[in-house]
Structure 1
Amino acid sequence: MEEHAGLEAQIQVWRGYVARRRAISPADLDELEDHLREQISERRAGGLDDDEAFLVAIKRMGNLDAVSREFAREHSERLWKQLVLLPEGPAVAGPPPRRELAVVLSLAVGAGLALKAGLTWLGEDAALLRNVGLLVFPFLVAYFAWKRRITARTAIALAIPFAILVLALNTYPFDSDGSTWLLAALHVPVILWLLAGVAYVGGRWRSDGRRMDFVRFTGELAIYFILLALGGGVLIGLTFAVLQLVGLDLEPVLESWILPFAVPGALVVAAWLVEAKQDVIENIAPVLTRVFTPLTIAMLLAMLIVLTTAGRLVDVDRGLLILMDAILVLVLCLLLYALSARDPLAPPGFFDALQLILVAAALAVDAVMLTAMLARIAEFGFSPNKVAALGLNLLLLVHLVRAAWLSAGFLRGRRPFAALERWQTRYLPVYGAWAAVVVLVFPPVFAFA
């Protein structure tokens, strides 16, 4: 497989480009990629090398004339241009915009109704916190299922783990004063995120390119959700201020109706916006990663200095260790998003070196945190929180060490970028497996305390 890494990288660049254009519907993209791979295999069997087979196959993709022409123009420095410039042709239309908007708004309202029902039946306590993701998740997946036209087999594969989570979180006799229920509530979104990824890629989770598409989607979804939240917050704040001036109190309505509908609804709408406006985000993503990567490096180095000069590591505050875990997860998300926004065929450059520094800084912070956690365990013994944090940091350590090794090899010209990309996406299910252990195994092991 390694000798065809260059070909895989070219296919993923092509797929990523096509996915960002409205020339074809997203539901047809998987079928078109399969057709492209068949064409490449036929050309290679006829004696062509990988590059030649790719070029000829692209030329023969008659259904993608318009997209191929745009792709060639944007990559005019490559040989593809002379083989891909084809006459204008009609594009395959996606779902009618009004119909899709109606589906999205219906699902957004449904998610709000589900959360409102949860508030009514479960109350504002631990039970709601455990189930909030389960209440919203079906509506987000329903949008992907409609958009990707997932098969019954994929739907069953999603329904089974979802049902297991529902049963476990609502039948386990959690101790309200314990920590296992909170750990379960914090780790359930990780599992649901990966299940949503299976729906997003139409059930084809084994494809490295499709997993990277989902990573890219996740970053763009976060951007749109934050923008919607900021805009909605400003509008609600202005309305709140105006009504207060005339003697009306909006707070009860805000807590009981506006927020329960706005937050889950914004998530569904943000997913739709990412699908509909990917060509806009495509220009934002590289800018964001280039701005925040050096800032994050500076933050990690500052935290490293603070941790190493704070005295005995066993005396480091537990809250600080939890906060550091959250920061490391955010750093990993930034790294993944930066990789997803990069042109796989571009040669290594300054920003790639900067990302290696980011990984090295994260590794140093993670090593200090692991030392502090082991010291606390030796001093105070095991607990669900300590074991969960230790497991997460060990996973991060393995992830970052391998990423640093592959990044260094890419910078030295000894490894293709595709190897680094594959490692990042193939390691993601490990986090889901660990989250499942915390949700399903930790409570009985620690007597639900």
Structure 2
Amino acid sequence: MTTQDGKEELEAQFAQWRQYVLRRKELQPLDADELEDHLRGSVDELVAAGLSPDEAFLVAVKRMGSLDELSREFAREHSERLWKQLVLSADTGGPVAATRSRRDLWALVICAVGAAVSVKVPALFGLSLEDDGSFYARNFALLALPWLAAFLAWRRKASRPVIAALVALFALGAVAANVYPLLDTSQSLVVTSIHLPIALWLVAGLAYVADEWRSSRRRMDFIRFTGEWFIYFVLMALGGGVLSAFLFNTFKAIGILPEEFISYWLLPCGAAAAIVVAAWLVEAKQSVVENIAPVLTRLFTPLFTAALLAFLVAVLWTSNGIDVEREALILFNLLLVVVLGLLLYSLSARDPLAPPGPFDRLQLALVVSALAIDVLVLLEITGRITDEYGGTPNRAAALGENVILLVNLAWSAWLLLNFIRRRTPFAALERWQTGYLEVYAAWAWIVVLVFPPVFNYV
């Protein structure tokens, strides 16, 4: 290889390394410049000491691997190069990493078992899943999510003020769920059962971001964590369903019906434990789901866009209004949340430095379609509240949520449009979404704490 060929090969390796670094959402271009400058300086020193450029690059990456986890991850991904052998040892991190891994595993076991046991603790006080379903509807998140928050806070080494805030917020949720006199048939029970898990999930988000709760970058990491956690949880739920079916039918073949064990022990305890286990999988096995999640996002975005456009065409064609009864409200709100989730997760998985492309235009179409449906639902809810039926907890909560979603979707559409037209940086859209998490948290707590007494607990 000539000297010129060696230089070209070296520059190609620098370019590949820089491209990988810039894919990390937590790094800005200036950070990448600083890392690359450090790497180049190390390579120059090694070349001056007599190594070839290719050898110098490999050794420099090895040195950075001991200083920076980025190089270790880079070596994992590019396993076809010698970097994997140079940067990764057999235990992928030595005694310190192995000790950390064992501690994480013990923390996982303790928190998962704690969540599973917590689900059965109310039974010691005479509260059963069969006879006291409303209690579990209000409290299931309170039984499981504190253990998730504890695991995340331990992982992040959260400070005492953050831990105190977590304890206070979970205690506030427990008071709201159990002090108000909510009847089993009341709408206030329904809105509390829906909104309290949302509020408490965002409390778990505080444990995830820990002392960096003001950081837009860390909030986007939590959004990404939420999407990946959901994928793992669904996969585990499907596996649990298969396990339950096999368990039921194999025992049935010998004359034993384990229906009660499955319904009152395996499924609730397994679901609570899976909440923590899914979080551990996200933390420990990110590379697996990071390859799956973007593919799922790109698969379902066009499908949901087509479905929403077809619905709008049907509304215009038939001139039929939207039914705003409770089940329909929940359905439409879930639809809008799914659309928002697709947008959020695609943002978190996107390269912020990449130019706008066809997929961004498809996302804009999806957001605009959801925005149009949100407007139709809002008009129908407002008309029912003012003209015919009056206000109920369900309709009031749906009205507020649709207004919040309307603002989010409208400004997101505007930012996406300007990004596609190259007038707004992609970072502006990220900051808008991460900042809006506080709005969702505030509204969820308002519904849980304020709505029941305002509507006389009906």
Q: What is the TM-score with the length of structure 1 in the denominator?
A: 0.82
Contact 1:201 1:210 in 2 (8 A): yes
Match of 1:67 among 66, 70, 76: 70
Shift in alpha-carbon separation, 1:389–1:117, aligned structure 2, 3 A: same
- How far apart, in 1, do the equivalents of 2:230 and 2:253 lie? 34
- How far apart, in 2, do the equivalents of 1:111 and 1:304 lie? 43
Contact 1:183 1:385 in 2 (8 A): yes
Match of 1:360 among 335, 356, 368: 368
Shift in alpha-carbon separation, 1:321–1:303, aligned structure 2, 3 A: farther
Q: Secondary structure at the match of 2:211?
A: coil
- Identify the residue that residue 82 of structure 1 maps to in structure 2: none
Shift in alpha-carbon separation, 1:318–1:202, aligned structure 2, 3 A: closer
1:416 counterpart = 2:430: no
- How far apart, in 1, do the equivalents of 2:399 and 2:213 lie? 28
The superposition leaves residues 170-193 of structure 1 with CA deviations (integer Å, 9 ceiling, x where unpaired) of 111223332112211110011111
- How far apart, in 1, do the equivalents of 2:294 and 2:444 lie? 30
1:212 counterpart = 2:215: no
1:412 Cα deviation (Å)?
0.9
Shift in alpha-carbon separation, 1:381–1:243, aligned structure 2, 3 A: same
The superposition leaves residues 385-439 of structure 1 with CA deviations (integer Å, 9 ceiling, x where unpaired) of 1111000000000000110011011111111111111111111110110011100
Further displaced range: 314-323 or 359-368: 314-323
Alignment of 1:98-177 (within 5 A): 98-121=102-125, 122-123=127-128, 124-177=132-185
Q: Which amino acid aligns with 1:67?
A: L
- How far apart, in 2, do the equivalents of 1:374 and 1:267 lie? 37
Q: Secondary structure at the match of 1:413?
A: coil
- Identify the residue that residue 441 of structure 1 maps to in structure 2: 450
Q: Secondary structure at the match of 1:246?
A: coil
Further displaced range: 387-396 or 276-285: 276-285
Q: Which amino acid aligns with 2:384?
A: R
- Identify the residue that residue 298 of structure 1 maps to in structure 2: 306
1:14 Cα deviation (Å)?
5.0
Shift in alpha-carbon separation, 1:189–1:70, aligned structure 2, 3 A: closer
Contact 2:176 2:449 in 1 (8 A): yes
Q: Which amino acid aligns with 1:436?
A: W
- Choose 1 or 2 for highest CA Rg: 2
- How far apart, in 1, do the equivalents of 2:401 and 2:69 lie? 46
- Identify the residue that residue 440 of structure 2 maps to in structure 1: 431
Q: Which amino acid aligns with 1:321?
A: L
- How far apart, in 1, do the equivalents of 2:269 and 2:40 lie? 48
The superposition leaves residues 196-254 of structure 1 with CA deviations (integer Å, 9 ceiling, x where unpaired) of 11111123111111011011111111111111111121122112111111111010111
The superposition leaves residues 357-399 of structure 1 with CA deviations (integer Å, 9 ceiling, x where unpaired) of 1101111111111111112112211111111100000000000
- How far apart, in 1, do the equivalents of 2:159 and 2:216 lie? 20
The superposition leaves residues 2-55 of structure 1 with CA deviations (integer Å, 9 ceiling, x where unpaired) of xxxxxxxxx9x9597398xxxxxxxxxxxxx8xx99xx7xxxxxxxxx985575
- How far apart, in 1, do the equivalents of 2:352 and 2:197 lie? 30
CA-based RMSD: 3.1
Contact 1:313 1:371 in 2 (8 A): no
- How far apart, in 2, do the equivalents of 1:159 and 1:176 lie? 28
Q: Which amino acid aligns with 2:114?
A: G
- How far apart, in 1, do the equivalents of 2:328 and 2:318 lie? 11
Q: Which amino acid aligns with 1:110?
A: G
- Identify the residue that residue 6 of structure 1 maps to in structure 2: none
Name structure 1 gaps, 5 residues minimum: 1-10, 20-32, 41-49, 76-86
Q: Which amino acid aligns with 1:441?
A: V
- How far apart, in 1, do the equivalents of 2:272 and 2:75 lie? 40
- How many residue pairs align between the two structures? 405
Q: Which amino acid aligns with 1:109?
A: V
1:169 Cα deviation (Å)?
1.7
Q: What is the TM-score with the length of structure 2 in the denominator?
A: 0.81
Contact 2:149 2:204 in 1 (8 A): yes
- Identify the residue that residue 17 of structure 1 maps to in structure 2: 24
Contact 2:120 2:269 in 1 (8 A): yes
- How far apart, in 1, do the equivalents of 2:123 and 2:199 lie? 22
1:74 Cα deviation (Å)?
7.8
Contact 2:23 2:351 in 1 (8 A): no
Higher RCO, Cα 8 Å, sep 6+: 1
1:318 Cα deviation (Å)?
4.6
- How far apart, in 2, do the equivalents of 1:288 and 1:280 lie? 13
- Identify the residue that residue 79 of structure 1 maps to in structure 2: none
- How far apart, in 1, do the equivalents of 2:250 and 2:177 lie? 42
- How far apart, in 1, do the equivalents of 2:166 and 2:214 lie? 15
Match of 2:272 among 232, 255, 264: 264
Shift in alpha-carbon separation, 1:305–1:106, aligned structure 2, 3 A: same
Q: Which amino acid aligns with 1:328?
A: L
Contact 1:208 1:425 in 2 (8 A): yes
Contact 1:314 1:376 in 2 (8 A): no
- Identify the residue that residue 97 of structure 1 maps to in structure 2: 101
Q: Which amino acid aligns with 2:445?
A: A
1:349 counterpart = 2:361: no
- Identify the residue that residue 283 of structure 2 maps to in structure 1: 275
1:291 Cα deviation (Å)?
0.4
1:380 counterpart = 2:384: no
Shift in alpha-carbon separation, 1:169–1:205, aligned structure 2, 3 A: same
- How far apart, in 1, do the equivalents of 2:323 and 2:365 lie? 29
Q: Secondary structure at the match of 1:159?
A: helix
- How far apart, in 1, do the equivalents of 2:203 and 2:21 lie? 26
Q: Which amino acid aligns with 1:431?
A: Y
1:59 Cα deviation (Å)?
7.0
The superposition leaves residues 116-135 of structure 1 with CA deviations (integer Å, 9 ceiling, x where unpaired) of 11345333321221111011
Q: Which amino acid aligns with 1:142?
A: A
Shift in alpha-carbon separation, 1:314–1:18, aligned structure 2, 3 A: closer
- Identify the residue that residue 399 of structure 1 maps to in structure 2: 408
Q: Which amino acid aligns with 2:105?
A: L
- Identify the residue that residue 52 of structure 2 maps to in structure 1: none
Contact 1:131 1:169 in 2 (8 A): yes
Q: Which amino acid aligns with 1:270?
A: A
Contact 2:173 2:200 in 1 (8 A): no
